[in-house]
Structure 1
Amino acid sequence: MKPADRLTGYSLLLMVILALTASFGLTALAALAGCFAWLAATRLFWRLTRLQKIQVLVMLLIGLAGLLWGQWHATGVRWWWQALEANQGLLSMLVSVSFLRLVAVTDLAAKEALPVGRKALWKTLLGVHAFGAVINFSAMIIMADRLSARQQLTPLQALVISRGFTLAAHWSPFFAAMGVVLISAPGASLWTLMPVGLALAAVGLLLAGWWLLQQPEAAQTPAYPMHWKALLLPLLLAISVLTAHSLWEAVPVLTLVSLLSLVFTLVLLAWRYRRKGWLRLQQHIEHTLPTMSGETLLFLAAGVLAAGVGSALQAADFSLQLAHFGPWQAWLLLLVLVGVSGLGVHPVISIAIAGGLFAPWVSDPNLLALVFLMTWALGVTLSPLSGTHLAMQGRYGLPSYAFTRWNAGYVLLLLLVQFMALQLYGFFT
């Protein structure tokens, strides 16, 4: 283990601790948390792929240009502070949730024979959705690694896992999507977003299952040996977050998710492994956290981009002057954002820009937030450059651009579902 990797891991851990402390009142520590985040980022940049480096540098350059333009027109230094502190709550959540894999994976079957058939694939689809809603990307990799241990992952298996996983972006408070949305659409309520998102995810799972499992090869395709007791931890965590949010509404949701993820991990590590739990924790900090290069740089750069756009818009005294933003306008915005994702632009970039443009002028932040959640769920499903599809290519040899072709019809169908959902939301509100 190189010292630089240890420094990176502990820098990210300090960022989490300082950001959590800042959320509970010591706001002066937010800037220090941002410093540790950027310290880690400078050491992680060289781990990025060439494409990731280009995306990050473009966002940073545009953001810095906007900040300098705003500074030239005397917009003040608040935008620079925002760039320093931007998305640290979101990044803290991602780092904290990553610790859950230390206590979650032990519940999963490791040596059991793989079940075969449509019923088993249905369980895999639902299982990766529920499990991935809490431990995120790790759940998808755990299941895909198990299925590809003795033979190459098939396109059908990959689509079952990836679609089940990405649909959780509609509602999960443990997903980066929810964190980005709550930041980009200030005033949106988790209590409104989660029920609507759960309903959308349920419809999406039914459509995904019907679409995929009617394929002839589904009857002979091995699935993941899913045990429903493995979903106990995700269920307890979700209930804990919602209960804590109802009791302490002033505390940001991202803070509650981060804190409870760490508490659950520490308690279960101590209970299951006693003294060996510390070694597993140290291993995660020094070995696993430094692998989070893509997430760290992408979200920090997106924060700089959002701050730069905000500074430039203030300097230009720009205003959309929206006369109305209802379900039709929301769906048209969704079409644009998903289309941009299909070209390879990560949803976090398009959402950051759209949030800066629309959030000040939209009367219902929940409607805008729903559009952003839909954008994330459909965008990463369609984009050939999403982390989900790039992992399928790099780890299992499935071409990432093929996923765009395989998912195009499915995404179009979901866009129609989203249209009806937005119309219903507008009718009832």
Structure 2
Amino acid sequence: MRSYLILSMCVLFLIYYFIQNVWIGYFVVLLAITSFIGSALNAKGFPRIIGILMMGTGIILEIYKGTGAEGISQGILMILPLLCLVTLAPLLSIPLKLGGYFESIDTLLRNLLHHPRQLFAGITTSLFILSPILSLGSVRILSEFLSDLKLPTAMSAKSYLIGFSTAIMWSPYFASVSLVLYYLDMEVGKYIVYGIGLSFLSLIIGNGLFALWERRNPLERTHTPEVPLKKESQKQLILLGMFVTLLLCSSLTIEYLTKWSMIIIVCMISILLPIAWGLITKGWHRLIPLLKNYRDHSVPMMSNEIMLFTSAGLFAHAVQGTTFANIVSDFLTGLAKDSILLFAVAVIVIVVVVTYLGLHQIAVIAALAMQLKAEELGISNLSLAMLLLLSWSISSASSPFSGLNLMVSKIVGISGFETGIRANGLHLAILTVIGLGIIMIIS
């Protein structure tokens, strides 16, 4: 029942985006609040506590500001595109599952087991490609592939965080890029080249640091014989790369032609792609069971995401215009006028510290994106977008409360601090310096 409620919310919001009917908007907000309550009842642990706290604080702030129900509705409507993206994007993985692409990746990684540096590059590159489509599911899938290979803990912690965190900075199919560019009212096409460039630099830095680490900590070579990669697997890997490239190019083309929000475009592609696969291949008997599994299992399992995203979005909207937000905004604006570098460092420090204490990235990044104005800061919208996404990526990798860090630390069996700071601190520090340099150049 809860999955039908959530999916109805998404479909109705897509209709509302094009029709802009007030009553449809009110009904969508009502569905979102009901979905939040259902998700909060189903969620557990710290995410449930922080989600309820953010929602409660957001409601209190809206009432205190005098905006009341109207402010609450606006806050939820502003985060609804992201809720739809998080809910519908997993549909993109269905053609990949049916096409046998995951098995080809498994085969490739096993063939690289004799070469640790190449294996590390294979893991990080696979996550770079898969994470935009599968989100945290990409980490889970690769960890299952590699579970019987007994990789060193440090190698797993480094490869998972480095590979996944790159997607946070570049992919329009990822919540981070969609949210930041949506609030900054910036087209993805104007950002994507810079985002991909910074992500590639992150991959190169991460792989270079691993090569140095592996030289000091040589891994034991396996004695299992190497098996050449079959032509069928090679073909599947090429098709996978083409599939991701086609998704990216099609979404950018649609955005350029229609000027629709990229989040809406991605949501529509997520719905239409499995249907197109069924029509082209006539493989409905294989497709329908996966769609049912998505409805009955994948959607209900999104309780934490729906609860956190809804509450964080409302909280960020409620904070906007408050005395505290204005103080922070005035402080950062003053820093920017004195030094763009000091301003950028301050933003990164604020995001990392606040998320390290447990607040979700969406809340703090959305609040900054709504409160800060590039023209008042004296920088370009592109620089501000890169700064916020760099901060998001760094905080996701370092914070022991981020979904990424929690999952990786659980998989490798070490604490969130060891996963984030100890295993990847140097990489994050170098990435920060290089990212700041790029921001300074384009500002």
Match in the other structure for 1:267: 276
**Distance across 1 between alignment mates of 2:95 and 2:35:** 25
TM-score (norm 2): 0.85
Match in the other structure for 1:3: none
Counterpart among 75, 97, 111 of residue 89 in structure 2: 97
SS of the residue aligned with 1:148?
helix
**Distance across 2 between alignment mates of 1:207 and 1:342:** 24
Tell me by how many angstroms 1:149 deviates: 4.1
**Distance across 2 between alignment mates of 1:252 and 1:241:** 10
Amino acid in the other structure paired with 1:200: L
The answer for unaligned runs of 5 or more in structure 2 is none
**Distance across 2 between alignment mates of 1:409 and 1:120:** 21
* Alpha carbons of structure 1 residues 358 and 278: separation in structure 2 relative to 1, 3 Å: same
Q: Per-residue CA shift, 1:54-76, capped at 9, x if unaligned?
A: 211221122122111111xxx47
- After TM superposition, the structure 1 = structure 2 runs for residues 1-40 of structure 1, keeping only pairs within 5 Å, are 7-28=1-22, 29-40=24-35
**Distance across 1 between alignment mates of 2:242 and 2:350:** 38
Match in the other structure for 2:160: 161
Match in the other structure for 1:403: 419
Tell me by how many angstroms 1:114 deviates: 1.3
Match in the other structure for 2:353: 339
Is 1:242–2:244 an aligned residue pair?
no
Q: Which has the higher helix share?
A: 2
**Distance across 2 between alignment mates of 1:209 and 1:315:** 39
* Alpha carbons of structure 1 residues 49 and 152: separation in structure 2 relative to 1, 3 Å: farther
* Alpha carbons of structure 1 residues 406 and 114: separation in structure 2 relative to 1, 3 Å: same
Q: Per-residue CA shift, 1:178-218, capped at 9, x if unaligned?
A: 1221244x333322321111111111100001111331345
* Alpha carbons of structure 1 residues 229 and 336: separation in structure 2 relative to 1, 3 Å: same
SS of the residue aligned with 2:359?
coil
- After TM superposition, the structure 1 = structure 2 runs for residues 63-78 of structure 1, keeping only pairs within 5 Å, are 63-71=58-66, 75=67, 78=70
Q: Retained in 2: the 8 A contact 1:133–1:175?
A: yes
Q: Retained in 2: the 8 A contact 1:167–1:205?
A: yes
Q: Retained in 1: the 8 A contact 2:160–2:408?
A: no
Match in the other structure for 1:389: 405
Tell me by how many angstroms 1:92 deviates: 0.5
Q: Per-residue CA shift, 1:131-161, capped at 9, x if unaligned?
A: 2123322222111111114647733023212
Counterpart among 110, 115, 118 of residue 114 in structure 1: 110
* Alpha carbons of structure 1 residues 157 and 213: separation in structure 2 relative to 1, 3 Å: farther
**Distance across 2 between alignment mates of 1:219 and 1:241:** 44
Q: Retained in 1: the 8 A contact 2:143–2:411?
A: no
Q: Per-residue CA shift, 1:4-49, capped at 9, x if unaligned?
A: xxx1111121111111111222343233223222222222213323
* Alpha carbons of structure 1 residues 260 and 135: separation in structure 2 relative to 1, 3 Å: same
Tell me by how many angstroms 1:394 deviates: 3.5
Amino acid in the other structure paired with 1:158: A
- Shifted more, 87-96 versus 222-231: the winner is 222-231
Counterpart among 190, 193, 202 of residue 192 in structure 1: 190
Q: Retained in 2: the 8 A contact 1:70–1:314?
A: no
**Distance across 1 between alignment mates of 2:186 and 2:350:** 21
**Distance across 2 between alignment mates of 1:272 and 1:406:** 47
Q: Per-residue CA shift, 1:361-387, capped at 9, x if unaligned?
A: 446433222211111111101111111
Sequence identity percentage: 19
Is 1:376–2:392 an aligned residue pair?
yes
* Alpha carbons of structure 1 residues 134 and 318: separation in structure 2 relative to 1, 3 Å: closer
Tell me by how many angstroms 1:291 deviates: 0.3
Match in the other structure for 1:55: 50
Match in the other structure for 2:381: 365
Q: Per-residue CA shift, 1:245-289, capped at 9, x if unaligned?
A: 11111x111000110121112222442632342222122111111
SS of the residue aligned with 1:422?
helix
**Distance across 2 between alignment mates of 1:413 and 1:396:** 24
Counterpart among 207, 210, 217 of residue 208 in structure 2: 210
Amino acid in the other structure paired with 1:389: N
- Shifted more, 370-379 versus 269-278: the winner is 269-278
- Shifted more, 163-172 versus 269-278: the winner is 269-278
Tell me by how many angstroms 1:417 deviates: 0.6
Amino acid in the other structure paired with 2:171: S
- After TM superposition, the structure 1 = structure 2 runs for residues 271-290 of structure 1, keeping only pairs within 5 Å, are 271=281, 273-290=283-300
Amino acid in the other structure paired with 1:379: S
Q: Retained in 2: the 8 A contact 1:144–1:153?
A: no
Amino acid in the other structure paired with 2:396: V
* Alpha carbons of structure 1 residues 154 and 368: separation in structure 2 relative to 1, 3 Å: same
Counterpart among 299, 302, 325 of residue 309 in structure 2: 299
Tell me by how many angstroms 1:51 deviates: 0.9
Counterpart among 353, 373, 384 of residue 367 in structure 2: 353
Q: Retained in 2: the 8 A contact 1:342–1:384?
A: yes
Q: Retained in 1: the 8 A contact 2:95–2:274?
A: yes
SS of the residue aligned with 1:100?
helix
**Distance across 2 between alignment mates of 1:388 and 1:176:** 13
Q: Retained in 2: the 8 A contact 1:60–1:301?
A: yes
Q: Retained in 1: the 8 A contact 2:3–2:300?
A: yes
Q: Retained in 1: the 8 A contact 2:319–2:325?
A: no
Is 1:258–2:267 an aligned residue pair?
yes
**Distance across 1 between alignment mates of 2:239 and 2:28:** 37
**Distance across 2 between alignment mates of 1:314 and 1:205:** 37
**Distance across 2 between alignment mates of 1:133 and 1:277:** 21
The answer for unaligned runs of 5 or more in structure 1 is 1-6
SS of the residue aligned with 1:38?
helix
SS of the residue aligned with 2:196?
helix
Q: Retained in 2: the 8 A contact 1:331–1:371?
A: no
Counterpart among 425, 434, 438 of residue 417 in structure 1: 434
Q: Retained in 1: the 8 A contact 2:157–2:419?
A: no
Q: Retained in 1: the 8 A contact 2:92–2:274?
A: yes
Alignment RMSD: 2.9
Q: Per-residue CA shift, 1:279-338, capped at 9, x if unaligned?
A: 221221111110011110111001210222136459999973836557322333223322
